[in-house]
Amino acid sequence: MAKLYFKYGAMGSSKTAQALITKYNYEENDMRVWLIKPATDSRDGVSLVRSRIGLEAEAETMSPEADLFALFQARNADVVIVDECQFLPPEQIDQLRQIVDVLNIPVLCFGLRTDFQTKLFPGSRRLFELADSIQEIKTICDCGSKATVNARVDSDGYVITEGAQVVLGGNDRYVAMCHRCWQKAIMEHKKVKLHRH
């Protein structure tokens, strides 16, 4: 029986790398993968998924209005892999659930749980409600504790707590931190170290 999977982690936890490795593993077993990403994620161009460690693959970009269930039916695929799933609207998460339930096709979603204000993204919230399997991909804060916060940092290195929910960026804009260090950086108005590679 196929399942809907949600694999989430903070920034820098290797979510995209794991999505691409999963794609490779399915293809090694002669299975066809439909790799998709939301149009919101335009960092690596329209049709590319790229991890920080250099893995990349062609992907199909989905607008928020796209009907994923209808689009999938026109594809010849054995599995669906979604990168940056937090940016999908809840309706598209419902469509992914429909692919699992009606067509018995596994759907693996990789993304963030919360934004820079520690609030759930709408797509992530819906996945927590619907997924059969929920797995955290762990990463660590500079202090050694588990990182759970995607801290947004301004150009001077200070943690910011106001602004739009979605501001694209990587190591130049976000730092994965534990909640304690995030709170401390805000309260003490302390600069944080960006991990530029």
Torsion of CA 192, 110, 6, 135, to 10 degrees: -50
69 lies in a domain?
Answer: yes
Active-site residue, 65 included: no
User: Position 171: which residue type?
Assistant: N
**Domain CATH for 85:** 3.40.50.300
Please tell me whether residues 82 and 124 are part of one structural domain.
yes
Is 83 in contact with 111 (CB distance < 8 Å)? yes
Q: What is the pTM of this model?
A: 0.89
| From 56, 60, 65, 84, the catalytic residue | 84
For the segment 74-81, the average pLDDT, to the nearest whole number, is 95
The string of pLDDT tens digits covering residues 1-51 is 999 999 999 988 889 889 999 999 999 999 999 999 998 765 666 677 777
Query: How far apart, in whole angstroms, are the C-alpha atoms of residue 102 and residue 81?
Result: 17
167 and 127 within one domain: no
Domain that holds residue 15: 4-136
Is pLDDT above 90 for 197? no
Question: How many structural domains is the chain composed of?
Answer: 2
Q: For residue range 95-115, what is the model confidence (pLDDT) as tens digits?
A: 999 999 999 999 999 999 998
What sign does the dihedral 191-54-88-27 (CA atoms) show?
A: negative
Residue 174: CB partners within 8 Å, gap ≥ 6?
A: 11, 12, 116, 150, 151, 152, 153
CB proximity list for 59: less than 8 A, separation 6 or greater: 35, 36, 37, 47, 48, 49, 83
Give pLDDT, residue 154.
84
CA distance 59 to 129: 26
pLDDT in tens, 126-152: 999 999 999 999 999 999 999 999 888
Does residue 143 sit within a domain? no
111 and 171, same domain (yes or no): no
**Looking at residue 156, what is its pLDDT?**
83
Whether 192 is in a domain gets the answer: no
Same domain (yes/no): 110, 171 = no
Place of tokens 């790799």: 35
- How far apart CA 90 and CA 92 sit, in angstroms, is 5
* Whether residue 156 sits in one domain with residue 114: no
154 and 121 together in one domain = no
Asked whether 130 and 3 are in contact (CB, 8 A), the reply is: no
Condensed to tens digits (0 to 9), the pLDDT of residues 79-90 reads 999 999 999 999
**159 lies in the same domain as 120:** no
Tens digits of residue pLDDT in 167-192: 665 556 788 999 999 999 888 876 67
